[in-house]
Amino acid sequence: MQPPSDLLAAPETEAADTATAVENPTVGIDQSVGDFTYDVKYAFDAGSGLNEGVIRYISDVKKEASWILDFRLKAYQTFLDKPMPTHWATKDLENIDFNKIRYYLSQGQKPKRTWDEVPDDIKRTFERLGIPEQERKFLAGVEAQFDSEAAYSNVKDIVAKQGVIFCNSTEALREHPEIFRKWFGKVIPTGDNKFSALNSAVFSGGSFIYVPPGVKVAMPLQAYFRINAENFGQFERTLIIADEGAEVTYMEGCTAPKFSTSTLHSAVVELVALKGAKIQYITVQNWAPNVFNLVTKRAIAMEDAEVKWIDCNIGSRLTMKYPGVILKGKRARGEVISIALANDGQHQDTGAKMIHAADDTTSVIVAKSISVGQGRSTYRGVVHIPKHLKGCKNNTECDALLINTNSRTDTYPAIVVRGDTHAVQHEASVSKVSEDMIFYMQQRGLTEAQAMSLAVNGFVNDLVRQFPMEYSVELKRLIDLEMEGSVG
């Protein structure tokens, strides 16, 4: 089984520029959102820049088996060999200085079992982010990652009773290689793109989950990721395997403090849904406006399996992320629900990939983007249905909302369908928040920012309803924060 490579390189077709970015000095972003940091003493620090020594250091600190070190070193070579995917997306990628990035930091702690054991400084950081409410509520389901290592985790014990394995990448590969090695790096091969290669070389943290056959995990498993050191790239690695008939929901939330120099986040997330399994993967991200968020996410769905990505991207300097599903088994179903908000100075280049590889497979893509000020959002999608298949279905819907005449949105849907027994639908729309709509809401007493926020929340409302309750509340709060800063 070799999935199609080059996930990041979706072809550009049917380019449809609806507006051109123009200087707009009146619209600013709220620079204070997430602008804080705490002095954290790192027990292990691989320094700046990347070379073989750094990779050996990481592997050594983690006490990894030699096959993992070999995997990392090979990936490093691939990373060096691969060109930057600059030609098709944005030249901004060229501004990443790989020599200034710190590839590994750790406090040298083992994951904590209870909230009480979590160091106060880490708690304080979470509190500042408004996370504790959910922590309290969902304490049992939380695995919070602090920088590269999970700082808190007690969910393991609870789900372990069902035979579920839930741990970080280091522990998983050390303790359960017989389960994870088989799929590790198989859904997303190292050489898929430059950033998956980078991740494969220096990965740290992330969640590895195995759900045994027929087990339905009732509580959503959660993890919070953030970056807390200047120039520190976070390269988490996640692999979720739902065995036959198993069901699991994973939730990931990201917020990061603001720094003056660019930060890189480059994760690799692989999902494996075996026969009849269901995986739902939910992300709400709110990156600081200086973060490069270059993530490769892909799932493989076997016979009758279902995979659903719910992906919400707010913030960052540049996000490139196209969750995909390879519909490998008959009647497999893949779904991507995507919300992207690009504020001033930000570029959200997001979308979805649906690779149909079996008969009667179904895929659904619903993408909504919001461009504010000079923010730019791009939908980039691939739907591939080859000729030899029968009865495949795809429905793609992309809607864009523009909140300023200077904002920009592009849509690049690449839908390749061969054969005559398939049903494919594609819809796209672009709308604007009109002056009259804002005035109408202001006339009812809402400030301009509140009015815009409400308009945006309304635009994404049908998608937000699919989020778990506490996430939709958080999402609304994030949108409010973004819109507060966007009114000139």
Partner 1 sequence: MPSLEIRDLFVALAATPDKPIVKGLNLTIRTGEVHAIMGPNGTGKSTLSKAIAGHPDYVITSGDVILDGKSILEMEPDERARAGLFLAFQYPSEIPGVSIANFVRAAVQARLAEGEELDATAYYKRLYAKMDLLKIDRKFTSRSVNEGFSGGEKKRCEILQMAMLEPTFSLMDETDSGLDIDALRIVAEGVNLMRGDKLGVLLITHYQRLLDYIVPDFVHVMYDGRIVKSGDKSLALELEAKGYDWVKQELAASSAAVANA
Closest CB to partner 1 among 151 and 456? 456
Alpha-carbon gap, residue 454 to 440, rounded angstroms:
12
Which residues lie closer than 8 Å to 363 by C-beta, 6 or more apart? 325, 327, 333, 334, 335, 354, 356, 383, 392, 393, 394, 395
Alpha-carbon gap, residue 337 to 352, rounded angstroms:
9
Determine if 397 is a binding residue for partner 1 (CB under 8 A). no
Q: How far is the CB of 368 from partner 1 (least distance, A)?
A: 10
The residue within the footprint of partner 1, chosen from 128, 450, 473, 484 (CB under 8 A), is: 450
Say how many Å lie between the first and final Cα of the chain, rounded.
53
The residue within the footprint of partner 1, chosen from 251, 400, 455, 487 (CB under 8 A), is: 455
Edge-first strand order for the sheet with 142-146 is 149-153, 142-146, 221-225, 247-255, 278-287, 306-315, 333-342, 362-371, 393-402, 423-432
Alpha-carbon gap, residue 354 to 392, rounded angstroms:
11
Determine if 443 is a binding residue for partner 1 (CB under 8 A). yes
Closest CB to partner 1 among 385 and 433? 433
Q: How far is the CB of 483 from partner 1 (least distance, A)?
A: 13
Determine if 460 is a binding residue for partner 1 (CB under 8 A). yes
Q: Are 334 and 307 in contact (CB under 8 A)?
A: yes
Q: Segment contacting partner 1 (CB under 8 A): 99-107, 149-157, 350-358, 443-451?
A: 443-451
What mask of x and - would describe binding to partner 1 in positions 274 to 293, judged by CB under 8 A?
Answer: --------------------
Q: Are 221 and 189 in contact (CB under 8 A)?
A: no
Alpha-carbon gap, residue 247 to 231, rounded angstroms:
37
Q: How far is the CB of 193 from partner 1 (least distance, A)?
A: 35
Determine if 445 is a binding residue for partner 1 (CB under 8 A). yes
Closest CB to partner 1 among 21 and 446? 446
Determine if 459 is a binding residue for partner 1 (CB under 8 A). yes
In this structure, the number of other CB atoms found within 10 A of the CB of residue 99 comes to 10
Q: What is the DSSP letter of 102?
A: B
Q: How far is the CB of 339 from partner 1 (least distance, A)?
A: 12
Determine if 30 is a binding residue for partner 1 (CB under 8 A). no
Which residues lie closer than 8 Å to 391 by C-beta, 6 or more apart? 359, 360, 421, 422
Q: Segment contacting partner 1 (CB under 8 A): 79-87, 352-360, 407-415, 450-458?
A: 450-458
Q: Segment contacting partner 1 (CB under 8 A): 22-30, 139-147, 237-245, 457-465?
A: 457-465
Alpha-carbon gap, residue 324 to 322, rounded angstroms:
6
| Nearest one of 376, 374, 257 to 319, comparing CA atoms | 376
Determine if 36 is a binding residue for partner 1 (CB under 8 A). no
Phi, psi dihedral angles at 208 (to 5 degrees): -115, 130
What mask of x and - would describe binding to partner 1 in positions 299 to 338, judged by CB under 8 A?
Answer: ----------------------------------------
Alpha-carbon gap, residue 298 to 310, rounded angstroms:
12
Alpha-carbon gap, residue 365 to 463, rounded angstroms:
11
Q: How far is the CB of 463 from partner 1 (least distance, A)?
A: 10
What mask of x and - would describe binding to partner 1 in positions 421 to 440, judged by CB under 8 A?
Answer: -------------xxxx-xx
Closest CB to partner 1 among 162 and 466? 466
Q: How far is the CB of 446 from partner 1 (least distance, A)?
A: 5
Q: Is 286 left (phi over 0), alpha (psi -120 to 50) or beta?
A: beta
Task: Say how many residues touch partner 1, by CB under 8 A.
Answer: 24
Q: Segment contacting partner 1 (CB under 8 A): 75-83, 259-267, 293-301, 455-463?
A: 455-463
Closest CB to partner 1 among 155 and 460? 460
The residue within the footprint of partner 1, chosen from 386, 446, 470, 473 (CB under 8 A), is: 446
Please report how the helices 435-443 and 448-464 are oriented relative to each other, as an axis angle in degrees rounded to 10: 110
Closest CB to partner 1 among 30 and 448? 448
Q: How far is the CB of 83 from partner 1 (least distance, A)?
A: 42
Determine if 420 is a binding residue for partner 1 (CB under 8 A). no
How far CA 63 is from CA of 42, 56, 66, 208, in Å, comes to: 18, 10, 9, 17
Determine if 457 is a binding residue for partner 1 (CB under 8 A). yes
Binding site for partner 1 (CB under 8 A): 434-437, 439-448, 450-451, 454-455, 457-462
